[in-house]
Homo-oligomer: A and B are copies of this chain.
Amino acid sequence: MNTYLDCIPCFLKQALHAARLATEDEMIHAEVMRSVLKEMTVIDPCLPPPAIATRIYGIIREISGIEDPYRKDKEAWNSFVLQLYPRLKSLIVHSPKPFETALRLAIAGNIIDFGPRSHISEEHVHKTIIRAFTRKVAGDINEFANAIISAQKILYIGDNAGEIVFDRLFIEQLPREKIIFSVRGAPVINDATMADAEAVGMTKIVKVIDNGSDAPGTILEKCSEDFRRHLAEADLVIAKGQGNYESLSGMDPVTGKIYFIFMVKCRVVADHIGLDIGSLALNKG
């Protein structure tokens, strides 16, 4: 998916938020904004938004000297969703449709994304969970279940911290032995890295790899050879979140074997996929 002009104000808003998380020094905030503005004047619109975002968060790291401005937020969100885990687990196991319930929760968990919104409240997550039980899932749940049952090797590409607990709940309903879960290779926004996979116990239930990249999505040419080998070998890929949709949708190596699952959170992605903001997307790519 290309980067649209509408992405520019959003990138600048994200950059300012991340710069303020990194440091209280207003001179640095201004320097970050100037650098990001300059970067925006030369962006290639044929690149997907996560490729541009990679550069922006690189600028923030370079100027602020802070490797991971979202570290505390990520830890707080992991802890918060882990507290919800027993109740969510109970909802799933007592549901007449445990697979569908776990899937709806996995999509709801995708609300914990500091890209489109800089502030997410716990109340917002609660409301999103409730809505996820009444809204239509935009996609064929039975076909998706069948693809999972039929697959030999599944690569599940994770997205954000906090959300990763919802992914764990979903994966616990799936044939785990077939699944490899992947995280980002380095911190970017609130995307989950190996530290988050370990913190929420994902590493105890499935094999977890990192993709070797610091993009908030999956930019294949920036990923490690090991990750790309797993992607090639998988006969089913499950990709969580908008960033993975933006970067993998329409990409040759995954066409026909990928399902994107996410909550639609911005106008650009909504228009691209043809769904409203707030939709629960289950999209076969």
Q: Name A12's closest neighbour in chain B (CB-CB).
A: B9
Size of interface on A: residues with Cβ below 8 Å to B: 17
Tell me, rounded to whole Å, the shortest Cβ–Cβ distance linking A238 to chain B.
Answer: 33
Taking a contact as CB atoms under 8 Å apart, the answer to whether A12 and B16 are in contact is no
Taking a contact as CB atoms under 8 Å apart, the answer to whether B5 and A29 are in contact is yes
Residues of chain B lying within 8 A (CB to CB) of residue A9: 9-10, 12-13, 16
Tell me, rounded to whole Å, the shortest Cβ–Cβ distance linking A172 to chain B.
Answer: 40
Residue A41 lies at the interface, judged by CB distance under 8 Å to chain B: yes
Question: Assuming the A-B contacts A37-B37, A37-B41, are A16 and B5 also in contact, with contact meaning beta carbons closer than 8 angstroms in the complex?
Answer: yes
Q: Name A45's closest neighbour in chain B (CB-CB).
A: B30
Alpha-carbon separation in the docked complex, A30 to B5 (Å): 7
| Neighbour of A16 across the interface among B8, B16, B29, B40, CB < 8 A | B8
Residues of chain B lying within 8 A (CB to CB) of residue A12: 8-9, 12
Taking a contact as CB atoms under 8 Å apart, the answer to whether A8 and B37 are in contact is yes
Residue A53 lies at the interface, judged by CB distance under 8 Å to chain B: no
